[in-house]
Amino acid sequence: MTRYPRDMTGYGATPPEAHWPDGAKIAVQIVVNYEEGGENNILHGDPASEAFLSEIVGAAAWPGQRHWNMETIYEYGARAGFWRLHRLLADVPVTVFAVATALARAPEQVAAMKDAGWDIASHGLKWIEFKDMPEEEERAQIAEAIRLHTEVVGTRPRGFYQGRASMNSVRLGAELGFDWLADSYADDLPYWERIDGRDHLIVPYTLDCNDMRFATPQGFNSGEQFYEYMRATFAELYREGEEGRPRMMSIGLHCRLAGRPGRIEALRRFLDFAQGHEGVWFATRSQIADHWAATHPPMAKPRPSEMTKAEFVSEFGGIFEHSPWIAEAAHGLELGPTHDTARGVHSALARVFRTAPDDKRLDVLRAHPDLAGKLAQARRLTPESANEQSSAGLDALTDAERAAFEDANARYTAKFGFPFIIAVRDNTKDSILAAFERRIGNDRETEIAEACRQVERIAELRLIDKLGA
């Protein structure tokens, strides 16, 4: 049995209605990353200098050495860039992704964040790479980040964004009790993630509407490009909101990047553009998290990919008529959260059916009852088949209609050796009889292929009944 942990479906084609406050068409969430003073530096006990997200694109870490230019670029963010952003955004709801050790070295900036009423979330203990850090060490660092953040700010951080995350970061953040987690770029809406048997709220972040692209190859090389990208993103999401599908737009800023005078004008222009629209909710991440938790709390639902084999077969063994072997084999496929839907389970079951030997597939066809036949009259159909035949009125035929069905059944079965199969719910009595006459003219190979398609459609409809569309 193989299980694939990634969810490649999410909300799918029909995401939930966000119900933003006051009927807003879009939620705009601005993040100011405060990392200056928490970056890699041998002064901080790190093995090398910082090399990431600065004016020196492609910089290398210097093992055992300080990097004067890099240090002063970061210092600019704290000394000048922060205040430029603060002046522009003081009256805008902002979430700060704050590195705890950087906060401890920035009492003036912390006071300004608090005076502005900004939402100060945890950005970890240090602004370093975590991908190779042992789990116990990372757990201890996050716990220390919470302690130090609380000591410096006066309140415990509600949200967590590690940034240069490991495969353990999100799980550890959930374990350590944050209200929301942001180490995800997987959606335009918040969503609930199942972590260690509990639901945790993810408020996804962005790496595209993010000034970090000023410091990456093929990123933004002018404020105009940054503005235009934010404007286009807002325009599309606002249009989707007008069409009844409101989304969330995240914007990521860094004091040492967007805080430069040649770049902040792009942010100013964007704010003017966005604030010129009606129905725009500027919000902090904690406000969005609170809204989502109240409006879209986690819902208990079947999780087929987490079922034991016995549970899976008990639940889905009858989806293909009298053929539990299909569910038994499907349980052994690579399943995951993306299969925890009607179409997800159907995909797994259909794969087994399609690749089965011809004789096994014929057994499935022969397991289906005649339409309006003797089993129906004797009330010996499976509940699924009984409901399906009833949906088209096949349980209430006139004598003439019954005679027509019996004649069609007899001719069809005599020719092909298995009963006529059709997804009754997609049809009426008249269209079923018309299909009888049309399909009885098929050759055997063509008709077996058509009957198999109908079997798969019947299975799909049964799963939608069981799990929802």
Per-residue pLDDT tens for 333-347?
999 999 999 999 999
Q: Of the candidates 230, 264, 295, which is a domain's last residue?
A: 295
Does the pLDDT value for residue 209 go beyond 70? yes
Residue 401, domain member (yes or no): yes
**Domain enclosing residue 380, as ranges:** 304-467
391 band by pLDDT with thresholds 50, 70 and 90: low
Whole-number average pLDDT of the chain: 92
Q: For residue 194, how many other CB atoms are within 10 A of its CB?
A: 16
Does the pLDDT value for residue 332 go beyond 50? yes
219 band by pLDDT with thresholds 50, 70 and 90: confident
Catalytic residue, chosen from 67, 123, 331, 368, is: 368
Q: What is the pLDDT of residue 378?
A: 40
Q: What is the pLDDT of residue 375?
A: 42
CATH of the domain at 171: 3.20.20.370
Asked whether 266 and 224 are in contact (CB, 8 A), the reply is yes
CA nearest to 99, candidates 64, 58, 50: 50
Same domain for 88 and 131, yes or no, is: yes
Work out the burial of residue 333: count CB atoms within 10 Å of its CB; fewer than 13 is exposed, 13-18 middle, 19 or more buried.
Answer: middle
Give the residue ranges of DSSP H helices in 165-222.
169-175
Q: What is the pLDDT of residue 392?
A: 57
* 149 noted as active-site residue: no
Q: What is the pLDDT of residue 394?
A: 67
Helix or strand run (H / E) with residue 152: helix 135-153
Q: What is the pLDDT of residue 295?
A: 97
Residue 7, domain member (yes or no): no
Same domain for 288 and 325, yes or no, is: no
Give the residue ranges of DSSP H helices in 154-222.
169-175
Same domain for 328 and 368, yes or no, is: yes
Per-residue pLDDT tens for 85-142?
999 999 999 999 999 999 999 999 999 999 999 999 999 999 999 999 999 999 999 9
CA distance 431 to 127: 66
CATH of the domain at 412: 1.10.3330.10
Residue 187: DSSP 8-state: -
Strand, helix or coil at 162?
coil
Q: What are phi and psi of 38, to 5 degrees?
A: -120, 5
Same domain for 288 and 323, yes or no, is: no
Helix or strand run (H / E) with residue 198: strand 198-202
Residue 12, domain member (yes or no): no
User: Does 116 or 406 have the greater pLDDT score?
Assistant: 116
Same domain for 89 and 194, yes or no, is: yes
User: Does 111 or 399 have the greater pLDDT score?
Assistant: 111
Same domain for 312 and 359, yes or no, is: yes
Same domain for 102 and 141, yes or no, is: yes
32 band by pLDDT with thresholds 50, 70 and 90: very high
Work out the burial of residue 197: count CB atoms within 10 Å of its CB; fewer than 13 is exposed, 13-18 middle, 19 or more buried.
Answer: exposed
Residue 9, domain member (yes or no): no
pTM of the model: 0.90
Lowest mean pLDDT among 125-129, 157-161, 286-290: 125-129
Number of domains observed in the structure of the chain: 2
Specify whether the backbone of 66 is left (phi greater than 0), alpha (psi in -120 to 50) or beta.
beta
377 band by pLDDT with thresholds 50, 70 and 90: very low
Q: Of the candidates 260, 295, 330, which is a domain's last residue?
A: 295
Does the pLDDT value for residue 197 go beyond 60? yes
385 band by pLDDT with thresholds 50, 70 and 90: low
381 band by pLDDT with thresholds 50, 70 and 90: low
- 372-391 mean pLDDT: 58
Helix, strand, coil distribution of the chain in percent, nearest 5:
50, 10, 40
Q: Of the candidates 277, 295, 313, which is a domain's last residue?
A: 295
307 band by pLDDT with thresholds 50, 70 and 90: very high
395 band by pLDDT with thresholds 50, 70 and 90: low
Residue 223, domain member (yes or no): yes
Residue 1, domain member (yes or no): no
Q: Pick from 1-5, 392-396, 402-406 the range whose average pLDDT is largest.
A: 1-5
Which residue has tokens 């990047």?
A: 257
Q: What are phi and psi of 400, to 5 degrees?
A: -70, -40
Same domain for 314 and 237, yes or no, is: no
CA nearest to 127, candidates 88, 77, 79: 77
Name the pairing type of β-strands 26-34 and 247-254: parallel
Give the residue ranges of DSSP H helices in 243-278.
261-275
Q: For residue 25, how many other CB atoms are within 10 A of its CB?
A: 22
Q: What is the pLDDT of residue 455?
A: 97
CA distance 267 to 361: 62
Q: What is the pLDDT of residue 388?
A: 65
Same domain for 116 and 53, yes or no, is: yes
Same domain for 270 and 348, yes or no, is: no
Same domain for 258 and 312, yes or no, is: no
Same domain for 314 and 166, yes or no, is: no
Q: At residue 269, what is the residue type?
A: R
CA 323 to chain centre: 33
- Find residue 159's DSSP bridge partners: 180
Share of the chain above pLDDT 70, in %: 94
**C-alpha Rg value of the chain to the nearest Å:** 30
CA distance 446 to 69: 73
